[in-house]
Amino acid sequence: MDLICIKRKYRNIRRIIIFSFILIIFIYAFIIGNYVSERIKRQKIFEEDFAIISKIMKEQEELAKIEAEKPKPKILTEEEINRIKNIYKAEEKRVFLTFDDGPSQKVTIPILDFLNQENIKANFFVLGSRVELYPEIVKRAYEEGHYIANHGYSHKYSQIYMSSSSVLDEYSKTNQAVRNAIGNQLYNTNIFRFPGGSIGGKYNDLKNEAKCILEQNNIASIDWNALNGDAEGLKTEEALLNRLKETVNNKNSIVILMHDAADKTKTYKVLPQIVQYLRQEGYEFKTFYDILDEQ
């Protein structure tokens, strides 16, 4: 009887041991399984994240490449700014016809018609406020090969010369107006003419400061060394022509100041005589494109 009890007890202990061993194996397998499963999950997440990051980096590289290959707005170099500064020095006889304060329907359009007829290219220092009124005229001038330069937005001295930075603000506002008018967001006017000229007057010191700011932003400025006197109150075409001859004075490189505001009708009426005189004197008509494209 004791032996039977002992055997039974032994069998129970053995069953408990076997069961415990199986349970331990099951628990261990469960833990290992979860661990492996978790590792696989983490590996998969890592691989997915790595794939996403790689894709983003590749897309950014492609975007950077596309951006680098895009045409950029023309920005003047220091050498090009110096060419504009030295525009009055040349061995050959050349002339730059420049018109300020436009565009206007009454004067700019007849000027463009005449220039087109004579196959002459000129330079227009436009006002941003006028560009917004007559964008189609600016677009026409640009498409016909004339240089569109910058004369500020308002032409109000108290506004444009409020500070040196306000000059740059007016330049930028006009530059954007020109871009919108011609349908080319890469175009830069690049050349600025100070209303009233860059020298003298009560704003002289401020203008000197503004010149530095413009150059720091790769913008050239230019005045003139000849004019027809259309802003001097001259009453006749003959007087305008004589004033022009007087100021040209046989210089080799001349930048002629004229105006194409709506009240300057005599400017376009005398223009054929001016062109005839300049041709007789042996001048070749140029635009600022010619200066900037010099090699």
Q: State the total domains in the chain.
A: 2
pLDDT in tens, the chain (295 residues): 566 666 666 666 777 777 676 777 777 777 777 777 777 777 777 677 677 777 777 766 665 554 444 445 789 999 999 999 999 999 999 999 999 999 999 999 999 999 999 999 999 999 999 999 999 999 999 999 999 999 999 999 999 999 999 999 999 999 999 999 999 999 999 999 999 999 999 999 999 999 999 999 999 999 999 999 999 999 999 999 999 999 999 999 999 999 999 999 999 999 999 999 999 999 999 999 999 986 5
pLDDT in the model for residue 17:
75
- Maximum Cα–Cα distance across the chain: 151
Domain C-terminal end among 70, 105, 128: 70
Q: Which residue range is the domain that position 1 belongs to?
A: 1-70
pLDDT in the model for residue 281:
98
Tokens linked to 166? 């306000």
CATH number of 172's domain = 3.20.20.370
Residue appearing with tokens 């505001």: 261
pLDDT in the model for residue 275:
98
Task: Give the CB-side neighbour count of residue 57, counting CA atoms within 13 A.
Answer: 6
Pair 116, 261 in one domain: yes
Pair 85, 43 in one domain: no
Pairing state of beta strands 253-259 and 226-227? parallel
Pair 29, 146 in one domain: no
pLDDT in the model for residue 41:
75
pLDDT in the model for residue 10:
66
**What is the phi/psi pair of residue 125, to 5°?**
-90, 95
Pair 45, 18 in one domain: yes
- C-alpha span between 247 and 118 (Å, rounded): 23
Pair 31, 130 in one domain: no
Model pTM score: 0.79
DSSP state of 257: E
Domain C-terminal end among 49, 70, 91: 70
Pair 60, 120 in one domain: no
Pair 172, 66 in one domain: no
DSSP state of 232: T
**What is the phi/psi pair of residue 99, to 5°?**
-125, 125
pLDDT in the model for residue 106:
98
Pair 85, 50 in one domain: no
**81-88 CB contacts, 8 Å cutoff, 24+ apart:** 81/215, 81/218, 81/219, 81/220, 83/291, 83/292, 83/294, 84/191, 84/220, 84/221, 84/222, 84/288, 84/291, 85/220, 87/222, 87/253, 87/255, 87/291, 88/225, 88/251, 88/253, 88/254, 88/255
Pair 3, 88 in one domain: no
Pair 61, 118 in one domain: no
β-bridge mates for residue 147, sequence order: 123
Pair 28, 135 in one domain: no
